[in-house]
Amino acid sequence: MTSRPSPRRRHDAEAARADILAAALSEFADYGYGGARIDRIAAASGMSKPMIYSYFGDKDDLYAAALREAYVQIREGERTLNLSNLAPSDAIRALVEFTLDHFIEKPWFVSMLNTENLRGGSTIRVIADLTEIQSHLVTEIGVILDRGASEGAFRQGVDPVELYITIASLCYFPVANRHTLKSVFGRDLNDAAQLDLRRGLITDMVLAWLECRE
Amino acid sequence: MTSRPSPRRRHDAEAARADILAAALSEFADYGYGGARIDRIAAASGMSKPMIYSYFGDKDDLYAAALREAYVQIREGERTLNLSNLAPSDAIRALVEFTLDHFIEKPWFVSMLNTENLRGGSTIRVIADLTEIQSHLVTEIGVILDRGASEGAFRQGVDPVELYITIASLCYFPVANRHTLKSVFGRDLNDAAQLDLRRGLITDMVLAWLECRE
Amino acid sequence: MTSRPSPRRRHDAEAARADILAAALSEFADYGYGGARIDRIAAASGMSKPMIYSYFGDKDDLYAAALREAYVQIREGERTLNLSNLAPSDAIRALVEFTLDHFIEKPWFVSMLNTENLRGGSTIRVIADLTEIQSHLVTEIGVILDRGASEGAFRQGVDPVELYITIASLCYFPVANRHTLKSVFGRDLNDAAQLDLRRGLITDMVLAWLECRE
Amino acid sequence: MTSRPSPRRRHDAEAARADILAAALSEFADYGYGGARIDRIAAASGMSKPMIYSYFGDKDDLYAAALREAYVQIREGERTLNLSNLAPSDAIRALVEFTLDHFIEKPWFVSMLNTENLRGGSTIRVIADLTEIQSHLVTEIGVILDRGASEGAFRQGVDPVELYITIASLCYFPVANRHTLKSVFGRDLNDAAQLDLRRGLITDMVLAWLECRE
DNA sequence: AATGAATGAGAATTCATTCAT
DNA sequence: TATGAATGAATTCTCATTCAT
């Protein structure tokens, strides 16, 4: 009997971890923590359940890894924007558009925030290095605001964190609540026209707020 | 030992329903759908599990009732604002402040939105009378916008639904994500000063956007 | 406030018992002992559950009463046949036809036998007076057999109980198993032609067996 | 203390299925569908409840498998009779005796028929391949009848299905109703003499009916 | 006497987690 | 290392039965 090549060999450990993580992210995002099933993660990632436990620990640990991954992805995306190379208002526009688009295209980020806050943030408090992941973003926004202020485009004294929270607020709600908004108000972000409208509205609003003080 | 009042007759049917609903709202908000436990709802409401089933049907039905209740509460709050009696910008200010405060003080509303959207909105689609519950609010905002426009305070052509979504966006995010925001950016809406800051920021931003077009 | 006449007054105790018994018979026959629901019996009989308990005792007692009622009904039917007035072979024919028709028209008898035997006969052992209910039937069949034998129509020495069991066997199976017979062999006693066929077959067979010994 | 053999590996999958099926057949036969307990099936088969669910699905599915198994067993028994090798009347005699003995020795077949018909035959309608399981039997009986007719032993034109229903009728009733028969008429098939009597009676009756038409 | 309201004791079913190989 | 097989510990939901009025 010839030993058939183990299908697991296809993966080195790193790839296996990545597959599991992707499946877990999607599962937790789709079903929430309580609704997520290890079985489905195993099936989706092509790994056996014991492998998942051996790579990540228990369900909580896997969830923590997935949450961290969601943050890593969005911060990586923000980094590739190279905001520092743009004119201040273009940078802001780019950040707004990236944020909205990322929320829409990678819906697991929004869902994971949803889930984690439902759980009272008990997990994120424990992911030690997250603040570090963020700091680059805050710094970069700070630089843009300073530059904008010194060029006279923006008003003085805007806090980068407050600005980011504001942008995130405007982008997050229509995505996070797209199902209820559709049912209750009939608005649907899947409709391209409505999405464009909202994108424009948000950008205008943020820029107006940054500038609008003569 | 005083004979404790019989747990059965303590409730008339209406009060029993209300107690169960309150407990369910809190439970679903705290744990999400999957994490909610009928046992805990029974304990918190002082009813036995079978009574809950007899009053509301199964877990899904109870969840639907709780979700509906969350909407009813916020719409009732909005109604008592009597926005129509206020000057347009005061009305907007009042609506913003009410919205933010309601989100903070009745955190189950935000959590229920969270939960329902995690579930893909399958329940809200089925709550037949919700649109009706909303329509009053939209109408009232429309009246204010019209009045503001005709008085020259606001610009023309603002869609009441878009305005409401914008306000809700700005109020929702910092509350819904208060745990992650605290961990990631160190911002904490429980801190009264930060709350005031945000309340001011949101009001300014909304009014600026309504007015700011010379 | 005028006291409306209690709807229960409609029933004197005897009628109430009868209503409950009829509903119980139908329920146990339709669902078996384990599947029967006191709730449904209450609804079908128009009585409250506590009334049922007060009239009959617990589920077991009610079941025993229903089982007894099923036997009483069939024995009453047999009595009204007045077999003694008929010629022997006519009497047998009448008994066969009555038995088959009763099984078909009062399906609860067959179902109750089914159910009771599934339960190991634990209840019928306890219904004290049943043998008495039967004895009339056996005696009457004995008389017919004797008369038939002395007239030369039947052979000697047929045991009335064995004859009754034989007739019941032939009538019972196609009714008791009508659902499986339909699925497995495509035979359906609801079809009048097939019913007539079987009725004729059974009568022929029984009479042939009683006579056929030259 | 000797290390007991691990309960898990005791079974290979095939044996585990068989053990569960045997336990389920016995449980459903003894208690009916509603009275059957998964707990008891688990205990009797030496498997844990979750294993049962994993092998068979839910209670309905397990019941369907048990019902099917009951049919498979009796048809297998009939096949090993090799009726085709026997003289026509010997073949009929063998079929009658096998049927009665099978009903007595494998009481779950009768009970399962009982149960399934109580349930309205909803399950058997769904067991797709059952008709196929039967067809061999009907064909074989048809061959015997034809042979018997051409040899002059039997009369012409007997429908094999009707014959089988007749035989089954005569064998089924005394077994299916053994508890009520014992209580009501004092007849007990466990008594060997009474069993022999009945066996003889049934065989005589069937053969008389097949032949008796000069 | 009559019943709406209440529940204890279970039933089926699920799922994170761990063996045994 | 890798996994098919196994299960303890819940969890939802039900139902015969009994109060309290």
User: How high is the pLDDT of residue A212?
Assistant: 55
**What is d(CA B10, CA B56) in angstroms, rounded to the nearest whole number?**
19
Least confident of C186-200, D60-74, D119-133, D191-205: D119-133
Average pLDDT (A125-153) is 88
Percent of chain D predicted with pLDDT > 90:
79
User: How high is the pLDDT of residue B36?
Assistant: 95
Kind and range of the H or E element at D14? Answer: helix D13-35
Enumerate the nucleotides of strand F whose atoms come under 7 Å of any protein CB: 1-9, 11-21
Span CA (C175) to C1' (E20), Å:
53
Task: Please tell me the distance in Å from B14's CA to the nearest CA on chain A.
Answer: 28
Kind and range of the H or E element at A207? Answer: helix A192-211
Tokens of A55: 């790579």
Q: Write out chain C residues lying below 8 Å of D118, CB-based.
A: 31-32, 111, 114-115, 118
Spatial neighbors of C48 by CB under 8 A, at least 6 apart, are: C42
Nucleotide nearest to D48 (CA to C1'): F7
- Domains for chain A: give ranges and CATH numbers: 10-57 (1.10.10.60), 68-211 (1.10.357.10)
Q: Write out chain A residues lying below 8 Å of B177, CB-based.
A: 113, 117, 172
Nucleotide nearest to B36 (CA to C1'): F11
Tokens of D150: 């051409």
Query: pLDDT at residue C8 above 80?
Result: no
Is A72's Cβ below 8 Å from some Cβ in B? no
Angle value at C-alpha D90, between D86 and D92, nearest 5 degrees: 105
Percent of chain D predicted with pLDDT > 70:
93
**What is d(CA D94, CA D103) in angstroms, rounded to the nearest whole number?**
14
Spell out residues with C-beta < 7 A from strand F: A 6-9, 47-51, 54; B 6, 8-9, 36-39, 49-50, 53, 58-60; C 36-39, 49-50, 53, 58-60; D 7-9, 11, 13, 16, 47-51, 54
User: How high is the pLDDT of residue D7?
Assistant: 43
Span CA (A11) to C1' (F2), Å:
13
pLDDT band at A24 (very low <50, low <70, confident <90, very high): very high
Q: What's the predicted TM-score (pTM) here? A: 0.88
Spatial neighbors of A80 by CB under 8 A, at least 6 apart, are: none
User: How high is the pLDDT of residue A3?
Assistant: 44
Distance of CA A28 to the CA centre of its chain: 14
What tens-digit pLDDT sequence spans chain B (214 residues)? 333 334 434 447 888 999 999 999 999 999 999 999 999 999 999 999 999 999 999 999 999 999 999 999 999 999 899 898 999 999 999 999 999 999 999 999 999 999 999 999 999 998 877 777 778 889 999 999 999 999 999 999 999 999 999 999 999 999 999 999 999 899 999 999 999 999 999 999 999 999 855 4
Q: Residue D33: closest CA among chain C residues belongs to which residue? A: C34
User: How high is the pLDDT of residue A177?
Assistant: 96
Cα within 13 Å of Cα(B198), Cβ side? 28
Angle value at C-alpha B210, between B208 and B213, nearest 5 degrees: 80
Q: What's chain C's average pLDDT?
A: 90
User: How high is the pLDDT of residue B212?
Assistant: 56
- Find out whether A104 and A189 touch, Cβ atoms under 8 Å: yes
Q: Give me the residues of C, 81-100, that contact D with CB < 8 A.
A: none
**What is d(CA D165, CA C198) in angstroms, rounded to the nearest whole number?**
10
Secondary structure E strands in B116-194: none
Query: pLDDT at residue A157 above 50?
Result: yes
Axis-axis angle for helices C13-35, C59-80 (nearest 10): 110
pLDDT band at A6 (very low <50, low <70, confident <90, very high): very low
Average pLDDT (D76-87) is 90
Q: What's chain D's average pLDDT?
A: 90
**Which residue of B103, B185, B207, B210 to mutate against A (max A Cβ within 10 Å)?**
B185
**What is d(CA A46, CA A17) in angstroms, rounded to the nearest whole number?**
11
**What is d(CA A206, CA A213) in angstroms, rounded to the nearest whole number?**
13
User: How high is the pLDDT of residue B213?
Assistant: 58
Top-confidence range, A13-17, B182-186, C196-200: C196-200
Are B177 and A172 an interchain contact pair (Cβ–Cβ within 8 Å)?
yes
**What is d(CA A88, CA D192) in angstroms, rounded to the nearest whole number?**
103
- What is the biggest distance separating any 2 CA atoms in chain D, rounded to whole angstroms? 76
Chains C and D touch (3+ CB pairs under 8 A): yes
User: How high is the pLDDT of residue B35?
Assistant: 92
- Find out whether D171 and D96 touch, Cβ atoms under 8 Å: yes
**What is d(CA D89, CA C195) in angstroms, rounded to the nearest whole number?**
28
Is A164's Cβ below 8 Å from some Cβ in B? yes
**What is d(CA B86, CA B91) in angstroms, rounded to the nearest whole number?**
5
Task: Please tell me the distance in Å from A82's CA to the nearest CA on chain B.
Answer: 21
**What is d(CA B189, CA B207) in angstroms, rounded to the nearest whole number?**
22
Span CA (D126) to C1' (F3), Å:
35
Q: Residue D36: closest CA among chain C residues belongs to which residue? A: C34
For nucleotide F10, give the residue with the nearest CA to its C1'. Answer: B37
**Which residue of A177, A191, A206, A210 to mutate against B (max B Cβ within 10 Å)?**
A177
Q: Residue B214: closest CA among chain A residues belongs to which residue? A: A212
pLDDT digits (tens, 9 = 90+) for C46-92: 999 999 999 999 999 999 999 999 999 998 998 898 888 899 999 99
User: How high is the pLDDT of residue D8?
Assistant: 39
Average pLDDT (A36-45) is 96
Q: Write out chain A residues lying below 8 Å of B184, CB-based.
A: 71, 124, 130-131, 134
Query: pLDDT at residue D4 above 70?
Result: no
Spatial neighbors of C78 by CB under 8 A, at least 6 apart, are: C95, C98, C137, C140
**What is d(CA C177, CA C190) in angstroms, rounded to the nearest whole number?**
12
Q: Write out chain A residues lying below 8 Å of B180, CB-based.
A: 113, 116-117, 121, 124
Tokens of D157: 């034109």
**What is d(CA C18, CA C21) in angstroms, rounded to the nearest whole number?**
5
User: How high is the pLDDT of residue A214?
Assistant: 47
Closest CA relative to residue A109, chosen from A171, A60, A183, A167: A171
**How many Å from the N-terminal Cα to the C-terminal Cα in chain A?**
83
- What DSSP string describes chain C? ---PPPGGGGS-HHHHHHHHHHHHHHHHHHHHHHH--HHHHHHHHT--HHHHHHHH-SHHHHHHHHHHHHHHHHHHHHHHT-GGGS-HHHHHHHHHHHHHHHHHHSHHHHHHHHHHHHTTTTTGGG-TTHHHHHHHHHHHHHHHHHHHHHTTSS-S---HHHHHHHHHHHHHHHHHTHHHHHHHH---TTSHHHHHHHHHHHHHHHHHHHH---
Span CA (D174) to C1' (F13), Å:
40
Query: pLDDT at residue A22 above 90?
Result: yes
For nucleotide F17, give the residue with the nearest CA to its C1'. Answer: C58
| Chain position carrying tokens 């066996």 | D199
Are C173 and D168 an interchain contact pair (Cβ–Cβ within 8 Å)?
yes
Q: What's chain A's average pLDDT?
A: 90
User: How high is the pLDDT of residue D142?
Assistant: 96
- What DSSP string describes A65-96? HHHHHHHHHHHHHHHHT-GGGS-HHHHHHHHH
Tokens of B2: 């005083």
Q: Which of C130, C166, C185 sits opposite D184 (nearest CB)?
A: C130
Spell out residues with C-beta < 7 A from strand E: A 36-39, 49-50, 53, 58-60; B 7-9, 11, 13, 16, 47-51, 54; C 6-9, 47-51, 54; D 6, 8-9, 36-39, 49-50, 53, 58-60
Q: Write out chain D residues lying below 8 Å of C32, CB-based.
A: 32-35, 115, 118-119
pLDDT digits (tens, 9 = 90+) for C118-152: 999 999 998 877 777 778 889 999 999 999 999 99
- Find out whether B166 and B145 touch, Cβ atoms under 8 Å: no
